[in-house]
Chain A
């Protein structure tokens, strides 16, 4: 697996490591480096769970633990590429604290980035949902504003139908239309 470092700050400034995650729909989000515990270079077997939200393709068996998968691009209603396949290509296993795990469906293998406080910026204005899903945001040299995910919200009940984040996303989709 090839992982590239993206230096986005002056060499003398103290930085924190993060992973850049490309979600379906062409957006990039980030999580702290220590939050990603494994990257599936090829998607593992996904067990669908009927009657679950559309953005949750199912669960994956990780060392005898069933871990829910989130496809944020679908959740945000982002337009998918014409050749977009529902099959998940790459998946990142993230830790949520208290020994809890989640998996994020991705388009590509994640990249590392070094993030400095000075690169903090406003959340992108195009999606109101970022205010619920993201803790903060930083400006990346080539990718622009990159929201840093609040993983406990992403994997919490707020994204379920009727949840607070779901209502915001519905407004986003309405605006986009």
Chain B
């Protein structure tokens, strides 16, 4: 059955990644740490992975996205923060211009059926101070990266297996 209107999910605390004019919200529980882009290692960057970030002794792949949520192939000058995300432990980094944690819980609504595409990382929307937040989560990010860049997925999986 179609779900044209946004059905409401549970409220949760969110962190918002700002980049390229977008506000991408992720569950705060999935944000493990932050790194500076100055600490990234881009010596092994490839078509899908912008750089690697060291978190607790592990090298994790770091990714960045443009205004259409397409993968970036170089780090823009104004992307200064690497947000290390994971379900249980940090598994990947997402680069952004800035990050903020919202003080109040956000009521995320599932994406309407007509807006959904299989590989989209955006799984929900939320209104916050009259702004629309694009909501995603770690597993959706992994699926999106895997669909967009097979090479990146391989690298991501390799990083996961090595941990």
Contacts and interface: CB of A to CB of B under 8 A. Distances in A.
B134 interface: yes
A66 B132 contact: yes
A159 interface: yes
A144 interface: no
B127 A157 contact: no
Contact of B117 (A53, A59, A96, A153): A53
> Is the contact region of chain A dominated by helix, strand, or loop, or is it mixed?
mixed
A152 B4 contact: yes
Interface residues of A, number: 32
A61 B127 contact: yes
Contact of B2 (A47, A56, A101, A157): A157
A172 B121 CA distance: 30
A159 B117 CA distance: 10
A50 B4 contact: no
A135 interface: no
Contacts of A50: 22, 67-69, 120, 122, 134
A155 B114 contact: yes
Interface of A: 47, 49-53, 56, 59, 61, 64-68, 70, 96, 98-102, 152-162
Interface of B: 2-6, 22, 67-69, 109, 111-122, 125, 127, 130, 132, 134
